[in-house]
Structures are given as C-alpha cells and as structure tokens.
A and B are shown apart, each in its own frame.
Chain A
Amino acid sequence: MRARRIPANFAERMLGGPVLWTGLVGLTAFALGPFVWMLLTSLKNRQELYATPLEYLPRHVTFENYVEAWTSPLTPFSRFFLNSLWVCSVTMVATAVVSVLAGYAIARFRFAGRDALLLIFLATQMFPSVLLIAPLLTQWRALGLIDTYQALIYSNFSFTVPFTVWMMVGYFSSIPRELEESAMIDGCSQFGALCRVVLPLAAPGIAATAIFAFVVSWSELLFAISFTTQTNMRTLSAGLLYMVGQYEVQWGPLSAGVIMSTVPVAVLFTFLQRHLIHGLTAGAVKG
C-alpha cells in the first residue's frame, strides 16, 4: 500500500507543479506566438521587414503600414472594414429575429415534424459551403444581386440560421413554461408573453448567440469572393485575399490588415466567451 502510494504522490506533485506550468507556458506561447509575430511585423518598416539576418523586434516602431493599408486607393481597407461591418451587423440582427421566433416555436409547440425539423437544422450545419457556391451564384445572377450587400447577407443565413436556431431552442427550453402561462392568464397574447416575459430572461443567451453569428459572418470568405466582383464591395476577408492577389505580396500593409481584421472579433469573443462556451457545449454534455 505504502509502496504504491509514494510514486502516485510523486506523480501528482510533478503534474501539479512543473508539468502544469511548462504546459501552460507552452500552450500560451503556441496560441499567441503567431499573432505576436504578425504584430511585430506590422510595426516594422520596409528595411527591417526584409532584413537578412532576420530582425525579431522593430527598432523604430512605425504605424505607416496601418496608415497605408487603411488609406490605399488600390486596396481600400477602410471600405472593406465598413462593408464587413454592415454585412455582419445586418446578418446578426436578422438572424437573431428569425431564430428567436423559430427557436421559440420549436421549444414550445409540439407539432408534427418537429423532430425532423430539428434534425434538418442540425444536418444543414454540416453542409459544405462550397456546395452552395455554384447554385447560389446562378440564383443571385438571375435576381440581379451580384455586387450587392443583399447577396452576401442572404447567403450568410445559410450557415448562421441553422446554428442559432439550435442554440435558441436550448435557451427557451430552460425557461419554465409556467412564467408565460401566468402572463397569458393575466391577459397577454402568446406573442406578448414571448416579448415581455421570455425575451428578457433569455436576453444574455440571445445576445451571445447573435454576436456569434456576427463573428462567424466576419470570417466568411467563399461567398464574399464569389458574389462580388467590384473592389469596393469586398468584405475584409475577401479584401485581404485581394491584397495578396494584386501584386507581389506586401507583407507590411498586409500584416497591418491582418491585425485590424483580428482585433474586433477577438474583443467580442472575450466578452461573450463564457456564455458561448456554455451554449455550445450544453447540448453535447447532456447528449
């Protein structure tokens, strides 16, 4: 007994001390290292950027890469940024409204085909978006929507809606039915009960889900490059790719662009992390 315990305790002490700390330092460095390198790159001037041997730290910190990327007439990053902001905001609001209604219906009404519908929502999340490019392009061309925000926003629904509906069903199911029933006895309609009783209770979850729809749309690339042809209609993702394709890769402005595209989603994610992780994993843990 004693002979068995000593190595166990030794192992525990090793795991709790040196192994834990080495692992944590390694994990943080691995996750953050590539970002840090990109940030350092964006702060270097041209000579330092292409110096041999490599210079790791910028000797004269400069923001000229940011200014160049933001104001360049060839690849107008400010325009890309506003395009992304608009497309993602509209996608976010519309997705939230649509999925609140659908999620509420699925959570509260027992109708025929409810399980089938949930399964369809789940399966749709697994569809590859490359599958949709050719047919959607044909469809948007027929409707005259190429180079419009609508085409991008509608296309985004194909991946945001299934996911957010699924999350909403979870939130609404966790709110006791009795609350709405008492509101309805007091004279609220079903819709009134949803707006006045259920929505305030589910608000944090809904907000987190909506922001997640924003973050996912922010990353969208394939629809953005397929359904726009004009430079001033490109979103950030499409714009970054366009910067690479334009001429010899200018890593200075490009790295500045990469950092500027990352910061907004990183900030949003930091805020919604806890909610999101709970929502993402709640179903899976129970299953």
Chain B
Amino acid sequence: MSTVPAALGSRRVRPLLSWRTRRLLNGYAYLVPAAVCLLGTVVVPIGKAIQLSLYNDVLYKPQDYHFVGLANYQHLAQDPVFWLTLWNSFVWVFGSVVLQFAAGFAAALLLHQAFLGRAVVRTVALLPWIIPGVVVGLIWEWLYQPNYGVINDLLVKAGWMHERVAWLSSPDLAMAAVVFANVWRGIPFFAIMLLAGLQAIPGELYEAARIDGAGVVDRFWHVTLPLLRPIIVVATATRIIWTFNYADLIFVMTSGGPANATQITSTYTLLQAYSNLDFGYAAALSVVLLLVMLAFTAAYLRVTHGVEETG
C-alpha cells in the first residue's frame, strides 16, 4: 500500500536501491534454489571429477591414494580397450541414430495422416520411449534368449535360419542386437519431433505445389524436407549426444561383452567406477567423454545457428 503514494508523489527521486536494482535482486533470489541444486549435483561434481582424474583413487585401496598427475591419461592413451570403445561408440551411435531416424520419419509420416483411432495408435507407438531402460534391456534379453526367445523361434519357423543363435553372446552379432533394441526404443523420439514439425507445415504449401503439378515424391522433396530441416538438425544432434552418453541398455543386456564387443566409452567408464571401483581412471575417462561431448555441442550450436539464419 505504501508504495503507491510514493510512486505517485516522487517520480524523479530515486530511493537508496533503485527500482531496477531491487527488481534484479528479486530476480536472483528466485534463481537461488535452482543454482544450489545444479552446483551441488553437477558443477561441483564435475570439478571433483577433474580433480579425481589426477589421483590414484581405488576405493578398496585407500592407502594408495596419492597425486599421480597425468598418469591416468597416459594409461588411457595406451589402453587398447579405450580405443576399441571409441570405435564401438561410433558404430553404436551411427547405427542407432540412422535407423531411428529412418524408421521414426516413416512413423511420423504415417501418424500425420488422418485415420480412425489415430490417438490410440499414437500413444501405443510412443510407449517404448517412456519405459525404463532396464525394462527395455530385459524385454529384449528375453526376446533374444537362445532357447526360449521368440526371435529365434520365429526366424527358424520362417525358414530364414537353420539353428538357434545366441544373439547376445556371439561377438559378431551382439552389437547388432543391442543396436536393434536401442532402435526400438528411440523410434518414438524421432516420430514425436518430426510429427510436430509436419503439423507446423501450412497445408496451403502442399496445395500450391499440387496445383503446379508436383507429385507425391516432388512434394516430399521440395516442400516437406526443406521445411523440416531445422527440426531434423536439432533432433538428430540431441539424439547423437544422448546415444553417445547412454549406458543403461548395454550395461543391462551385455555389460559390454562378449569380450568387449559391445563395450562403448560410457559403459566402460561405468564399469571402471561401478565394478572396478577405480575412480581415478573412471574420472579420466569421464573427462574425455565430457570433452567429446563439448566439442560436439559446440559444433552443433554452430550448425543450428546457421540453420536459424537461413531458415
């Protein structure tokens, strides 16, 4: 109540703290809880990880805890498994994202059509994306199971295979098997994003193209694709980063085996911290993961900036 006459009476006289400053302080106050959360669970731990990476820190050998400089990084550079995991990460990310994109795009085009029961089909089609990673891993482990798994059974019955295959314990097949499970999980993500993009394209554009004599294929190439470009870039980049970081599924299904055939960099980091309790080495791996992620994010921000300018 008291601020009203003050504001009316003295329009030019400024109080001790200006209105602008008080408003700003007020604004910062709203940010304090979020800042505390992120400081405590992200910023400080990342600093701690960088520090840990310079120490020999194995949880069950506290007497050996000492500063080792860059020894963990030297170990990493000479660790053949680490280089293998980088290659596996590439295969995992590339295979997953390309297939998810292709199938997700097809799903989005289907779900964009008007048909009876569209809402139900949409919800069902999106389900694999929302369920816990452990659940996805266990469902597919059971589907791939050599003796009682339905995949082997169907393939043998269809005559495409002569005998049952141990999908997850065969070094040649394990990566393809986990990628396929990940594709199942990731299709809905692309479907949602691209569907939203499709719905934002004005119908008149298709109408105009049709009047100009453009067929279905022409309309797809010259109307749909160019207008979806920004969302394709955003969705793909987000997915690449997310897939590179994602460890749950492989950890549940194979733990990186057999013989590191499915070991990607993030599961390798997880195993060093969780199973070997070698925090120093795990931290060094984390820092490398972080650097790869940052490099990719920087490149991505550059590209999306370009997209915004042209679009």
Interface residues of A (CB under 8 A from B): 1, 4-5, 7-8, 11-12, 15-16, 20, 23-24, 27-28, 30-32, 34-35, 37-38, 41, 49-50, 52-54, 56, 97-99, 101-102, 104-106, 108-109, 111, 117, 120, 123-124, 126-139, 154-155, 157-158, 161-162, 165, 187, 190, 215, 218-219, 221-222, 225-226, 236-237, 240-241, 244, 251, 254-255, 258, 261-262, 265-266, 269-270, 273, 277-278, 280-281, 284-285, 287
The answer to whether A240 and B134 touch across the interface, beta carbons within 8 angstroms, is yes
Extra contacts besides A11-B215, A37-B142, A157-B41 (10): CB < 8 Å: A4-B213, A24-B110, A28-B125, A111-B28, A131-B269, A135-B52, A157-B38, A161-B38, A222-B247, A241-B134
Partner of B188, one of A31, A38, A126: A31
Do A254 and B297 contact each other (CB < 8 Å), given the known contacts A131-B46, A133-B274, A273-B126? no
Task: Please tell me if B49 contacts chain A, counting CB pairs below 8 Å.
Answer: yes
A87 to B290 alpha-carbon distance, docked (Å): 28
Residues of A within 8 A of B24 (CB): 109, 111
**Ordered nearest first, which 8 A-B pairs have the shortest CB separation?**
A109-B27, A128-B245, A102-B34, A105-B30, A281-B196, A135-B48, A8-B215, A135-B45
The answer to whether A105 and B270 touch across the interface, beta carbons within 8 angstroms, is no
A120 to B26 alpha-carbon distance, docked (Å): 21
The answer to whether B289 and A131 touch across the interface, beta carbons within 8 angstroms, is yes
The answer to whether B150 and A131 touch across the interface, beta carbons within 8 angstroms, is no
- Tell me the nearest residue of chain A to B286, going by C-beta: A131
- Tell me the nearest residue of chain A to B142, going by C-beta: A251
A269 to B130 alpha-carbon distance, docked (Å): 7
A241 to B255 alpha-carbon distance, docked (Å): 12
Residues of B within 8 A of A133 (CB): 270, 273-274, 282
Task: Please tell me if B40 contacts chain A, counting CB pairs below 8 Å.
Answer: yes
Residues of B within 8 A of A254 (CB): 138
Residues of B within 8 A of A237 (CB): 132-135
- Tell me the nearest residue of chain B to A277, going by C-beta: B192
The answer to whether B135 and A240 touch across the interface, beta carbons within 8 angstroms, is yes
The answer to whether B31 and A101 touch across the interface, beta carbons within 8 angstroms, is yes
Do A285 and B200 contact each other (CB < 8 Å), given the known contacts A109-B23, A128-B289? yes
**A to B CB contacts below 8 Å, 5 in the list:** A11-B215, A130-B247, A221-B134, A222-B247, A262-B131
Task: Please tell me if B140 contacts chain A, counting CB pairs below 8 Å.
Answer: yes
Task: Please tell me if B177 contacts chain A, counting CB pairs below 8 Å.
Answer: no
The answer to whether B279 and A134 touch across the interface, beta carbons within 8 angstroms, is yes
Residues of A within 8 A of B63 (CB): none
Residues of B within 8 A of A157 (CB): 37-38, 40-41
A261 to B4 alpha-carbon distance, docked (Å): 56
**Chain A: interface secondary structure?**
helix
How far is the CB of B131 from the nearest CB of chain A, in Å?
5
Do A241 and B110 contact each other (CB < 8 Å), given the known contacts A101-B34, A124-B42, A226-B274? no
Residues of A within 8 A of B247 (CB): 128-130, 222
How far is the CB of B298 from the nearest CB of chain A, in Å?
10
The answer to whether B23 and A54 touch across the interface, beta carbons within 8 angstroms, is no
A95 to B69 alpha-carbon distance, docked (Å): 38
Residues of B within 8 A of A222 (CB): 247-248, 251, 270, 274
Residues of B within 8 A of A30 (CB): 184
Partner of A218, one of B123, B132, B231: B132
- Chain B 104-120 interface mask (CB, 8 Å, partner A; 1/0): 00110010010100000
- Chain B 136-176 interface mask (CB, 8 Å, partner A; 1/0): 00111011010110100100000000000000000000000
The answer to whether B121 and A27 touch across the interface, beta carbons within 8 angstroms, is yes
Among A7, A11, A97, A102, max chain B CB count under 10 A is at A102
Task: Please tell me if B193 contacts chain A, counting CB pairs below 8 Å.
Answer: yes
Residues of B within 8 A of A49 (CB): 148
Partner of A130, one of B31, B128, B289: B289
Task: Please tell me if B241 contacts chain A, counting CB pairs below 8 Å.
Answer: yes
A15 to B113 alpha-carbon distance, docked (Å): 10
- Tell me the nearest residue of chain A to B298, going by C-beta: A123
How far is the CB of B254 from the nearest CB of chain A, in Å?
12
Residues of B within 8 A of A117 (CB): 31
Task: Please tell me if B6 contacts chain A, counting CB pairs below 8 Å.
Answer: no
- Tell me the nearest residue of chain B to A225, going by C-beta: B274
How far is the CB of A21 from the nearest CB of chain B, in Å?
8
Task: Please tell me if B234 contacts chain A, counting CB pairs below 8 Å.
Answer: yes
Residues of A within 8 A of B125 (CB): 27-28, 31
Do A101 and B30 contact each other (CB < 8 Å), given the known contacts A129-B245, A251-B142, A284-B193? yes
